[in-house]
Structure 1
Amino acid sequence: MNSKNNLDYKKVVLGLSGGVDSTAAALLLKSKGLEVIGLYFNVHKQDKRIEEKSRKKAQDIADELGIKLHTVDVSDDFEECVINNFLLEYTKGRTPNPCIICNPNIKFKTLIDVANSENAHYIATGHYAKAMYSQRQNCHVICMGENEKKDQSYMLYRLPECYIMRLILPLGEVENKDVIRNFVRNHNLSNADTKDSQEICFITDEKSYTDYLKERGVDSKEGNFVDSTGRVLGTHKGIVHYTVGQRRGLGITIGKPAFVTGINSGANEIVIGENTDLFTDTIKISNCYFQSSNSKTFPEVFSKEVLRCKIRYKAASAFCRIREFTDDHIIIEFNQKQRAPAPGQSAVLYCDDEVIGGGFIE
């Protein structure tokens, strides 16, 4: 492996799926005079047909771009680290986000490994976010992209600084997805009008997540729907079929709109309530990760700062403060109540547009 001092600052290894975002990122990097090397991740251990189709899409675009494409089989590590966690979380009645686990442990680790082997200083992806040095945190950090509705900084909050300091995110300044599509179209590339990829890359469009869970041997027994007092209201199909905040598909009537307000995996119970029961002004997060390598920086620097928090990927950030900070957890208090924070999802904290850290909702 090459040392960092010998790496070529004109070379960049780009995660290339064949989608419009990574394609646009490749074009932008090439326009800056960088030698772009594509990297395709083989994650489909279970379905070789899907894998071959996905890889061909990436190779076709690499050929159109005139760049080399490496394929790395990460399927075993992906299965162990990402999919097994995904399956386990659902059996606990939690709602996981596999990208949060994959990015630091699989995707960006592999990008760095290939960059080192290719003597490339930089890595890149098509995420809508920014990577820069923060004077406030005294380290390299992830920041929000220009368009908060498209922003993907939430997905990258657990990246270590040693990855961020070599990371280029060409789409961070883009305000509109149509700009990206037109940019790719103007370069006469064949994928300008392809639809965006689904949120869970290892579940195909024709399957629901519950179909996938059942296919992988994860199913759960029927149990009771209960109200907040424990009164039995009916029978549910198994806890893996439900998530906090869900209304559709419950098959139960309580004389008013019914929502899943809690999941008790130990008792195999789904708690049912009204929409108003889903709102809370505090959450507890654990297994926290901070952009600054010194977690002690957090309470010292940010205890009096105005912070914002996202409780799910597509949520708008909301103003908050830190009510309690320990080695094990953080309690976040919001200025306004938030709807349906789901256990297993990440809560990500921001100061201005800088990611400062986050953790998993309990």
Structure 2
Amino acid sequence: MRAATLTAFGSPLTVHDVPDPAAGGGEVLVEVLATCVPPYAAEVFGGERRYPLEPPVVPGVGGIGRVARVGPDATRLKVGDLVWCDSTVRARDDALTPDITLQGWSSRGEGGARLARHLHDGPFAELMRVPTENVYSLPAGAAVDPARWSALGVHTIPYGGLLAGRLAAGETVLISGATGNLGSSAVAVALAMGAGHVVAPGRNRAVLDLLADRFGPRVSPVELSGDEDTDRAAMAAAADGPIDLVLDLLPPQAPASAARAAAMTVREYGRVVLMGGVGMLGGADLALPYPWIMRNSVTVRGQWMYPRTANAGMIRLIATGALDLAPERVTRFGLDRVNDAVAHAAAHGGPFDRTVLTPRA
């Protein structure tokens, strides 16, 4: 098969012929049709984000494909099925604290690194082997445009954060980092889940206007000034009532003060979910005040990626039209143009703008 390989950090990806992967027991072999290229992929491949990838590696984060071969433990999947391949792989030998790797992308701890060495390669290739439990059947309608459906890899991440925060229909949620790629997705997903009101802070006026135009009065954009106290007051005022949940999706470059300003708008007994990259590049810690958390009975939790059930839930939201993918802009690249795709993703990482690699096109 043909694949795009990262041979060393700082080097362009190399497209060449490599041996077909051999799927064993508990695994499925999938023909990759489409995979989203993250806007920050160039930072990962350049080594700027210091992800624990071990070159040479075929990278990528999940994708849409057709089943080419199934193992003996598969009871529902069959050859030819159109499927979503989730990159979030959990070790099978610890139910309480499983080691996790993002296949072809990242890992957590030494156990996750060991798992990544076994499931080393991702979807920037014509074929990929995937654990059986990470393969999800898609509705027939997804076959019309698999590239558009590959946005599952974007939307399921904030969906996991909103599930972790127990978002209920009618609640008010603040999305910290709403003008980014994941943050704008979180706005759409929260509304699809029934949020009554979404506060969307950010510093990009054009994106804030786009969110307001697309989603109407249920979204209140807030243009941030950079002053923590001023911004906290502006966000609280925009909510026009209690904020039940804050989901933080700010990138690594954002200051901790911005995350703190957003978090501290939450109501008494409210919930804060931290899912972004603040602090990954160094700098000040989040430093939420102990007395404020304790006296207001605020729940603060972290969430990395999402539970397995989130995949099924997100597929349902898209299939029923609760989350509409039609307005999203999708730009497709064949495997031979993988480096162009990485550059395009970096330059077009705004709201609802998807760069998609189509390895078998």
Which structure has the greater CA radius of gyration? 1
Greater RCO (Cα-Cα under 8 Å, separation 6 or more) = 2
Looking at secondary structure, tell me which structure has more strand per residue.
1
- TM-score (norm: length of structure 1): 0.26
